[in-house]
Amino acid sequence: MFIINGTLAPTSVTIESLSIREVIAAPTNVADGFVEGDYSRTAGLTGDGTSYIDSGRANDADGQNDQHISVFASSAPAGVTGTECFIGNGGSSVNGSHVGRWGGSPTQFSRSMSATLSGVSEPYESTGLIGISRNAASSYSHLVNGNIGSLSVTSGTPSTGNSFVFARNAGSAEIPTTATLAFYSIGTSLSLEDLDTAVTNLITAIGEAL
């Protein structure tokens, strides 16, 4: 799995910058449930519905109104009606950040309790980059199914604790996913469109090289 764990400037997201970005805090397979067969050099790591990764990056490490989280899903979760988290922290009673689905519908929230993407009618079956980015107190951007939109949700004081990948950290790992993820990133706000282009090109190049 390719990882970005830190800061990316909105105007400097390129394949070259992604390729040399260093991980600030080493992620940890806390559940110790992933096995060799779960990993593919081209597709990434497939969730088993129980295991997860601790990113080592605290949710409040970035500003209340200056953050992003994203994943690149190379394969959607099994089934289309599940409730799962691809990356995130916090629960229904704290201001977390979450990229996942609820009953098959996309849910992406930033420094808030919850937010269902009412403008997205299809189930969360898409692949590619999925994420959120906030650079204002009153709203944040989201990307799903190749579409970028905006949600008018006021931010709150960020929850503490590290963000998890393949689940969300709500004091313990919640709603783990069975999606296959090839990439994740956590850091300050950026252009989701630019990140999407750079990461998609990078994943494509890796696949062609291998």
Quick one: three-class SS letters along the chain?
Answer: CEEEECCCCCCCCCHHHHHHCCCCCCCECCCCCCCHHHEECCCEEECCCCCCEEEEEEHHHCCCCCEEEEEEEEECCCCCCCCEEEEEECCCCCCEEEEEEECCEEEEEEEECCCECCCCCCCCCCCEEEEEEECCCCCEEEEECCEEEEECCCCCCCCCCEEEECCEECCCEECCCCCEEEEEEEECCCCHHHHHHHHHHHHHHHHHHC
CA contacts within 13 A on the Cβ side of 196:
17
Q: Which domain holds residue 71?
A: 2-209
B/e letters for 56-69, b = 16+ CB within 10 Å, e = fewer, are bbbbbbbeebbbbb
Q: What are phi and psi of 196, to 5 degrees?
A: -60, -45
pTM score: 0.83
Predicted pLDDT of residue 67: 95
- Give CA–CA dist 112/158, Å, rounded: 8
Instruction: Please work out, in degrees rounded to the nearest 5, the angle formed at the alpha carbon of residue 143 by the alpha carbons of 166 and 95.
Output: 60
Sign for the pseudo-dihedral over CA of 121, 118, 105, 27: positive
Predicted pLDDT of residue 159: 87
Cα end-to-end span (Å), the chain? 14
Total domain count, the chain: 1
Predicted pLDDT of residue 16: 45
Cβ atoms within 10 Å of 173's Cβ, excluding its own:
19
Q: List the chain pLDDT tens, one digit each, 210 residues.
A: 545 444 333 334 444 444 333 334 555 555 557 888 888 988 999 998 889 999 989 999 999 999 999 999 998 887 666 788 999 998 767 888 989 877 767 788 899 876 665 445 444 567 899 999 999 999 999 898 888 888 888 999 998 889 999 999 998 899 999 999 999 999 999 999 999 999 999 988 988 887
- Give CA–CA dist 104/101, Å, rounded: 6
CATH number at residue 44: 2.60.120
Sign for the pseudo-dihedral over CA of 119, 123, 129, 132: positive
